[in-house]
Homo-oligomer: A and B are copies of this chain.
Amino acid sequence: MSTDFTPSANWLSHEYRDLNGTAIETLEEPPSALEFMRLVHISRPVIIKGYQFPALKLWNEEYLGEKMGDRQVSVAVTPNGLADSITRGPDGRLYFVEPSVDKMSMKELLSKLGPNRIDTGEICYLQSQNGNLFSSDSSYDPESDPSSSDFEPLTSDVPRDVPWCSDALGERPDAVNLWIGDERSITSIHSDPYENIYTVVRGEKHFFLLPPTDSWCLKESLYPHANYSRRSPLGTLELIPSPEDVPEVRWSSILDPELPTALPKEVVPIRVTLHAGETLYLPVGWWHYVQQSGLTIALNWWYDAEMRGMSWVLLNFLRNPVQLPSGNGNSIAQLAPS
């Protein structure tokens, strides 16, 4: 892989914006399967209004707490709201840090979120991302037990797939996830190997979006792995580096893309605030940095990306995967504030 890629890459960022502008389309109702397939081909985010399902009407704090009862669910807990993010460890090195995963009831989770929360000095975010509602490994297998979902009492409120998306792509989603958090949790900038349908049920999500043609300025590097963990059950969360045999994690070195110097001037993001009842189509490979206002509940459907043809190869090419630098090298580490 050439290491002299930046001038060409810069051209890509410029040309993409020149041709596409920085506004995105809003549909007043869900597309047909064919219309959605055209949108997938263009591979540009679209806001979709009017995609209806029971959770949008039924879900509030009281309903969720009652329905879920004493069931224990897995919640990401951090001291700073940065789950799955680059953070400096006590030894001065930068790590990709995963959250502590604590079990609690839905009522307990909700008591720790939003304006009337009990402040514990720790920040909770339900973000298990493993198809916590439905996944292709379990619920789509007719022989599997659908009650195995942590969220089985809520599954009847959520469609297992998005009809216009499944019909377009000719496949069911790989995972359906539930997300519950508040303004203290931030999702660091990353891209996913999925076509993503994302619906806000309560609250607001703020997306900072960059196309795959900007991948070069995300400065992906390899970071050693760590976890937030407690040394004793009632102890505080500490950043604990993982053993050396845990593989390094490839992640963007841009911790806060909103900082004025984080990105080249010409790299202008698309900003989307998604309100309750609105759905975002977020195409494969798009970079997203996500925040929320107050208690926010959201759902998403992840569909496998098309691997045939050129798109997958080009997405990987744009991320320049060979000769990835260490995130703790001199030039890259300066990008990450200590």
What are 28 inter-chain pairs, A to B, with CB distance below 8 A?
Answer: A1-B8, A1-B11, A2-B7, A2-B8, A8-B317, A11-B317, A11-B322, A12-B314, A12-B317, A15-B316, A16-B313, A19-B308, A19-B313, A20-B309, A34-B168, A38-B168, A38-B169, A41-B306, A41-B311, A42-B306, A42-B309, A43-B309, A43-B310, A43-B311, A44-B309, A211-B310, A213-B310, A213-B313
A101 in the interface (beta carbon within 8 A): no
Category for how many chain A residues contact B:
35 or more
In the complex, are the beta carbons of A317 and B15 less than 8 A apart? yes
**List of 10 A-B pairs having minimum Cβ-Cβ separation, nearest first:** A42-B309, A4-B4, A37-B37, A41-B41, A2-B8, A2-B7, A15-B313, A42-B308, A43-B309, A34-B34
In the complex, are the beta carbons of A37 and B43 less than 8 A apart? no
Additional A-B contacts beyond A15-B313, A16-B310, A34-B167 (4; CB < 8 A):
A1-B11, A8-B320, A19-B312, A37-B38
CB distance from A47 to the nearest CB of B (A): 16
A33 in the interface (beta carbon within 8 A): yes
CB distance from A287 to the nearest CB of B (A): 13
> Which residue numbers of A lie inside 8 Å of B, CB to CB?
1-2, 4-8, 11-12, 15-16, 19-20, 33-34, 37-38, 40-44, 167-170, 211-213, 306-314, 316-317, 320, 322
Of A5, A8, A311, most buried by chain B (CB within 10 Å of CB) is A8
In the complex, are the beta carbons of A7 and B1 less than 8 A apart? yes
Docked pose: A213 CA to B315 CA in angstroms: 12
Docked pose: A308 CA to B314 CA in angstroms: 17
Partner of A44, one of B33, B34, B308: B308
Which residues of B have CB within 8 Å of A170? 38
CB distance from A39 to the nearest CB of B (A): 9
CB distance from A40 to the nearest CB of B (A): 6
Are A6 and B11 CB-contacts (below 8 A) given A19-B307, A44-B308?
A: no
Which residues of B have CB within 8 Å of A307? 19
Q: Which residue of chain B has the shortest Cβ distance to A317 in the bound complex?
A: B12
CB distance from A261 to the nearest CB of B (A): 24
Which residues of B have CB within 8 Å of A169? 38
Docked pose: A309 CA to B17 CA in angstroms: 9
Which residues of B have CB within 8 Å of A5? 2, 8
CB distance from A323 to the nearest CB of B (A): 10
Which residues of B have CB within 8 Å of A306? 41-42
In the complex, are the beta carbons of A2 and B4 less than 8 A apart? yes
Which residues of B have CB within 8 Å of A42? 306, 308-309
Which residues of B have CB within 8 Å of A7? 1-2
Docked pose: A213 CA to B167 CA in angstroms: 29
Which residues of B have CB within 8 Å of A12? 313-314, 317
Which residues of B have CB within 8 Å of A309? 20, 41-44
CB distance from A208 to the nearest CB of B (A): 19
Docked pose: A268 CA to B7 CA in angstroms: 29
Which residues of B have CB within 8 Å of A40? 41
